[in-house]
Structure 1
Amino acid sequence: MITVPRSLILGLAALLSGYHILLGVYSLDVPDRQGPVIVALVLYAVATLISLWPTSPMRMPLWLSFFDLAVCAALPLLVGSTLDGSSSSNGYATWYVAAVGTLMTIVATRKNQVVAWVGVGFLVVHTIVWAGPAALGSLGVIGSVVWVTIAVTLSRGLARAGRDARQFARAEREATEWQAAQEAHLYERQVRLEHTSRLAVPMLRRIVERHGRLNTVQRQECRYLEAAIRDEIRGRELLNDDVRKQVMAAHRRGAIVTLLDEGGMDDIQGPERDAILNELAAAIGSTGADTIIARTAAGSDTAAVTVVGLSSTDPSVSALGQDSPDDEVDLWLEIPRREPVQLNRNGLVSTDEK
Structure 2
Amino acid sequence: MIRHSRALILAVASLFSLYHVLLGVYALDMPTDAAPVLAAMALYLVATFISLWPTSPTRMPLGLALFNLAACAVVPLLVATQLDPQDDLGYSTWYVAAVGTLLTITATRKRPFVAWLGAGFLVVHTVLWAGFGSLGSMGVIGSVVWVAAAVLLSRALAKAGRDARQFARAEREASRWQAAQEAHLYERQVRLTYTNRMALPMLRRIVGQNGVLADDEKLECRYLEAAIRDEIRGRRLLNDAVREQVMAARRRGAIVTLLDEGSIDELDGDVLEHVLNQLAAAIGRTSADKIIARTAADGSETAVTVVGLCSPDPSVSALGQDSSGDEVDLWLEIPRVRA
Tell me if both proteins adopt one fold, taking TM over 0.5 as the criterion. yes
Per the TM alignment, residue 146 of structure 1 is displaced from its structure 2 partner at its CA by 0.8
Per the TM alignment, residue 245 of structure 1 is displaced from its structure 2 partner at its CA by 1.0
Distance 2:266 2:45 in 1: 58
Distance 2:298 2:3 in 1: 45
Cross-structure match for 1:284: 283
Contact (CA 8 Å) 1:30, 1:90: kept in 2 or not? no
Distance 1:317 1:300 in 2: 36
Distance 1:242 1:297 in 2: 21
Cross-structure match for 2:316: 317
Tell me which amino acid in the other structure corresponds to 1:94: T
The 5-angstrom pairing of residues 226-245 of structure 1 reads 226-245=225-244
Cross-structure match for 1:251: 250
Select between 143-152 and 310-319 the one with higher mean Cα deviation. Answer: 310-319
CA change 1:300–1:311 in 2 (3 A) is farther
SS at match of 1:153: helix
Select between 200-209 and 225-234 the one with higher mean Cα deviation. Answer: 200-209
Per the TM alignment, residue 76 of structure 1 is displaced from its structure 2 partner at its CA by 0.4
CA change 1:76–1:307 in 2 (3 A) is same
Tell me which amino acid in the other structure corresponds to 2:46: V
Distance 1:244 1:323 in 2: 24
Distance 1:192 1:207 in 2: 22
The 5-angstrom pairing of residues 73-222 of structure 1 reads 73-85=73-85, 87-222=86-221
Q: Deviations over 1:296-345 (max 9, x none)?
A: 11234222111111111122211111111221111112222215x8xxxx
Distance 1:164 1:222 in 2: 58
Alignment of 1:35 with 2:35, yes or no, is yes
Cross-structure match for 1:45: 45
Distance 1:245 1:79 in 2: 95
Contact (CA 8 Å) 1:31, 1:83: kept in 2 or not? no
Distance 1:192 1:310 in 2: 29
Distance 1:326 1:127 in 2: 98
Per the TM alignment, residue 133 of structure 1 is displaced from its structure 2 partner at its CA by 2.1
SS at match of 2:99: helix
SS at match of 2:93: helix
Per the TM alignment, residue 30 of structure 1 is displaced from its structure 2 partner at its CA by 7.0
**TM value normalised by structure 2:** 0.95
Contact (CA 8 Å) 1:136, 1:142: kept in 2 or not? yes
Tell me which amino acid in the other structure corresponds to 1:59: R
Alignment of 1:7 with 2:25, yes or no, is no
CA change 1:309–1:299 in 2 (3 A) is same
Tell me which amino acid in the other structure corresponds to 2:8: L
Give identity over the alignment, percent. Answer: 69
Contact (CA 8 Å) 1:31, 1:93: kept in 2 or not? no
Cross-structure match for 1:344: none
Distance 1:8 1:114 in 2: 26
Cross-structure match for 1:345: none
For these two proteins, the number of residue pairs brought into alignment is 339
Q: Deviations over 1:4-41 (max 9, x none)?
A: 33333223222211210110110111783111111111
SS at match of 2:303: strand
Distance 1:260 1:189 in 2: 17
Distance 2:130 2:32 in 1: 17
Per the TM alignment, residue 125 of structure 1 is displaced from its structure 2 partner at its CA by 1.6
Distance 2:215 2:240 in 1: 27
SS at match of 1:213: coil
Select between 50-59 and 239-248 the one with higher mean Cα deviation. Answer: 50-59
The answer for unaligned runs of 5 or more in structure 2 is: none
Distance 2:99 2:119 in 1: 7
CA change 1:300–1:17 in 2 (3 A) is closer
SS at match of 1:119: helix
Cross-structure match for 1:68: 68
Contact (CA 8 Å) 1:47, 1:68: kept in 2 or not? yes
CA change 1:156–1:174 in 2 (3 A) is same
Distance 1:115 1:331 in 2: 74
The 5-angstrom pairing of residues 299-310 of structure 1 reads 299-310=298-309
Tell me which amino acid in the other structure corresponds to 1:238: L
Per the TM alignment, residue 2 of structure 1 is displaced from its structure 2 partner at its CA by 3.1
The answer for unaligned runs of 5 or more in structure 1 is: 342-354
Per the TM alignment, residue 52 of structure 1 is displaced from its structure 2 partner at its CA by 1.6
Distance 2:63 2:272 in 1: 56
Per the TM alignment, residue 144 of structure 1 is displaced from its structure 2 partner at its CA by 0.6
**TM value normalised by structure 1:** 0.92
Q: Deviations over 1:201-253 (max 9, x none)?
A: 12212222233232222222222111111111110011111111110110111
Contact (CA 8 Å) 1:30, 1:93: kept in 2 or not? no
Distance 1:300 1:209 in 2: 51
Contact (CA 8 Å) 1:31, 1:82: kept in 2 or not? no
Distance 2:92 2:233 in 1: 86
